[in-house]
Homo-oligomer: A and B are copies of this chain.
């Protein structure tokens, strides 16, 4: 089971409104009941016609899985940030239910303030998605496919690329037997700061100060070409962004 479906099922099973839920794996040839207590109460009742099918599958499985639902009268939604609503079969009721968060099985997710982006092609379906989203989170936005793609792209910078920078920092620490945990308060504060200051204003560091000596020293210290390239490019980008102020 994927990470999103794991957390979605956990969250939805806590709501009062959704009575019966079943998990269908992406091959669609097995049915399995979830841990949802309400579904146990209704254990005998086969959920042949759910209100909503939520396809919490990987991006490249959406087309194949949704094809198997091309005759359903239920609403079918996927949970991807980067896939258009039009990837779903044309003649069904279709929508998107995109929780903007990174999910891993180990980590608990607080859905309460997690933005959920919804999209549907008619008012009734949108309303149904809004009700479901509101039962999970206080932050629900209607966002069309073309805008959602930008949001997903921004999320790649803010999450995937950021995590890779943490990884590089971890490697630099490891090369000197320095505990990576020393950086955790800094990482936490960097993320925390933008609650009150915009990242544009919060920028600090050698590139922001145009401190050429430190930049030179850092480049001489880095050991891999890739790290040097990343250091150079990001420093240039910062210098370019703030250049006129210097």
Contact = CB atoms under 8 A, between A and B. Distances in A.
Interface residues of A, number: 91
A159 B238 CA distance: 13
B151 A178 contact: yes
A226 B192 CA distance: 26
Contacts of A139: 182, 185
Given A59-B211, A230-B233, A186 B160 contact: no
Complex copy number for this chain: 2
A202 interface: yes
Contacts of A172: 150, 153-154, 157
Contacts of A132: none
B233 A229 contact: yes
A195 B197 CA distance: 23
Contacts of A238: 160, 164
Contact of A59 (B162, B169, B183, B214): B214
A244 to B, nearest CB: 15
Given A104-B197, A156-B218, A163-B199, 18 more contacts: A59-B214, A100-B182, A100-B183, A101-B189, A107-B196, A115-B182, A141-B182, A151-B173, A154-B169, A154-B170, A154-B183, A157-B231, A158-B166, A164-B199, A164-B234, A170-B198, A226-B236, A230-B234
